[in-house]
Amino acid sequence: MHKVFTADNFVQLDQIRAYLIEHGIDCMHKGESSIGSGAAGGEVPPIAIKNELHVFHEQDAQRAKQLIQEFLQAETKRSDWVCAECGEKIEKQFSQCWNCGFEHN
């Protein structure tokens, strides 16, 4: 496995992982299997896990890094939007209207 990214938080890492998988790159959150409900269950709490994304194949590492940069650049350009169907104001991290289900591209 080859580390391609360290995220600020688990949510960001999961979004990027989904983006890479969508583009045909096999990857995983290293340490994800350790995440559980907390110390009471014997698992490691999510806050203690490093948010590292790894690809399985070395030949995918460079492409993965390029895709991650594209994802991060697009993320900073996004802004809140208004649904064209119902007029609801939607926060930038969402691509679908919570009120009517309209898909924003």
In a domain, 88, yes or no: no
Backbone angles phi, psi at 65, to 5 degrees: -65, -40
Contact indicator for 9, 51 with CB cutoff of 8 Å: yes
Walking along the chain (105 residues) 10 residues at a time, the average pLDDT comes out as 91 92 94 52 65 95 97 86 95 90 88
In a domain, 97, yes or no: no
Q: Write down the pLDDT at residue 42.
A: 58
pTM of the predicted model as reported, rounded to 2 decimal places: 0.65
Please give the tally of structural domains in the chain: 1
**CA-based Rg of the chain, rounded to a whole angstrom?**
17
Q: If DSSP codes are grouped into helix, strand and coil, which group holds residue 91?
A: coil
Specify the CATH number for the domain of residue 17. Answer: 3.30.70
In a domain, 101, yes or no: no
Is 17 buried (19+), middle (13-18) or exposed (0-12) by CB count in 10 A? Answer: buried
Range of the domain at 23: 2-79
In a domain, 29, yes or no: yes
